Structure 1
Amino acid sequence: MNPLAIGFADVEAAAARLAGVAHRTPVLRSRTADARTGAQLFFKAENQQRMGAFKFRGAYNALSQFTPAQRQRGVLAFSSGNHAQAIALSARLLDMPSVIVMPQDAPAAKLAATREYQAEQPGSEVVLYDRYREDREAIGRRIAAERGLTLIPPYDHPHVMAGQGTAALELVDEVGTLDALLVCVGGGGLISGCAVAAKHRLPDIQVIGVEPEAGNDTQQSLARGEIVHIDVPQTIADGAQTQASGQHTFPVIQALVARVLTVSDAQLITTMRFFAERLKQVVEPTGCLAAAAVLEGAVDLRGQRVGVILSGGNVDLARYAQFLHTTHLETR
């Protein structure tokens, strides 16, 4: 059997590279959430990370390992938004050009922030595409080959995976023993890195992934024992609109993740409102996936100590207000 793409030593090395650069994000508690679920919940607030999401961890870890020649030529990435911002910011910090391939319908706030991070870096640009008609990977590989750029994908890369795993490492080191860890699942970069870190520190921990109902490719893949490809899912969780797990991430998920659950878009909106009202936190739909599973009853973890990764907080304010207003009207 082939070894997994990353091990705990890779996560530790990533943590050393990120020290003093990435934020050590806070762990939030809520008595209301604990009472509702019967569990002790520890929310790792990656919505408070630099550029507003966990993606900064993997992006900086990957780019910081570039050779001088790679830095001079620059980096290329494709992303719906958070990886785009993370690469653009990391490239700026490391003084290299970045070219980002983003869907035309990416959230306006994510697109604007990406361009802002690139503003002072010569040779940097955003290339737009139609996510329902064009292949972002094909576009990215073509541009990278033409310009000599190094491609860093949003999840299927060992350096990215190891960087993302530092979120779980910090959580476990701060709060101690956990019985379960809930993590959102898109392409699997976050959950694979977190699973490696958490299972090394706490061998008995149950790592649970959470996907949107419309995009349960990883759940299907685990059931079939092979990577399942799906059409681009129609979900408000834009960060989880992936079509398949990665070649590097899926074997880690198979080996270390107990199961993958799903939640509906309606449950994500309810969870967004919970964080706004109770914890005064802006959490984007994708960032609510893991929390929605436990808060909305998709999994029963009563009596357990549970870590929950809030993966990001980048959401257009107008749309965010609309989400909260809709929920308010539905619950009156």
Structure 2
Amino acid sequence: MRRYRRTLVAAALMATLVSGTAGWASGTAQQPVTGPPPGTADWRHDASLGRALPDPETATPAQVARFFGTLSAEQQRDLAERHPGVVGNLDGAPVQLRYRANALAISKDPRYQRLATGGGRQIIAFDPRGRGTVAEVYGDLLTARHVSVVVPGSDIDAKTYDRSKDPYGTPAGMATSLRTATNGRTAVVAWAGYTTPVGVGLDAATGELAEAGAARLARFTGGLSAVGAKAPALFCHSYGSVVCGLAASEVAARDIVVLGSPGMRADSVGALRTDARVWAAKDPSDWISKVPNVEFLGLGHGADPAGKDFGARRVPARTAHGHTGYFAPGTDSLRAFAAIATGGDVR
């Protein structure tokens, strides 16, 4: 009974926080981007090869990879040029072909010209729907001995994922910092591949956006495996850790690292049903500690992954500062992340 009363009190506090009366930012309701990529209808009707093309909605990444393996380089380029929106987002398609397709798709969309790849940018996913989703690769996915994927939290989209303000709170800033900390020994993907919450409102306190993101993340990592990339370490920040928690049993990942997490929608590492090593970091000054670790009537994300009873391996974060300081150069957390990213341990 006492535990039930504590849960009710925590749930009431969560509702108060989400409503904004405790000083939290008010969020704007978001609709998750789901379904096949733009241009799918034309792709499905393309009979140029004399056979059906793999359906972007139902074909697995392995099936997509096998299909492209039957094509000549000229046939692959032709498909990318005719259907850049599909090929650029088709998990299992050749990596370099996806870069080429997304460069074409971006060149046709005046809203996202800043993502143009003339400077050597490697955009492995780009979807202009909604606020826009994008994923950028740093390094060589196919030759790197280690691969990492950064999964961000709230307020990240195709226009903000690499903003210069608060860089270590963005997936691009986290990715480049991690790659530098490993001396270039790992390829890193800044994966802003799902619709994130805006502000800290109801979307951030519930799991709808995370559920949609988890399905996209699982498919993305399946695509990495299908083209021969190493199983990645996932670095999941804030609400991104909710995404990773929901995806844990499906993603092809070697490690799952959560930082500044409000919860993973699981009571323990065992409840995640994953063979990956699970790590958690939370610095003493992170405001996320004020978020009640409950899940009640759809609000909240459950147990604290950095709590001793959750069972995650602890990542030191004594010298990190605030909610977005975990990847800052010189911090103990970044040194630990670099060790995990290159397959090592943290002591």
Instruction: Sort the TM-score into its range (normalised by shorter chain).
Output: 0.3 to 0.5
TM-score, normalising length from structure 1?
Answer: 0.34
Structure possessing the higher radius of gyration over alpha carbons: 2
> TM-score, length-normalised on structure 2?
0.33
**Which structure is higher in helix share?**
1
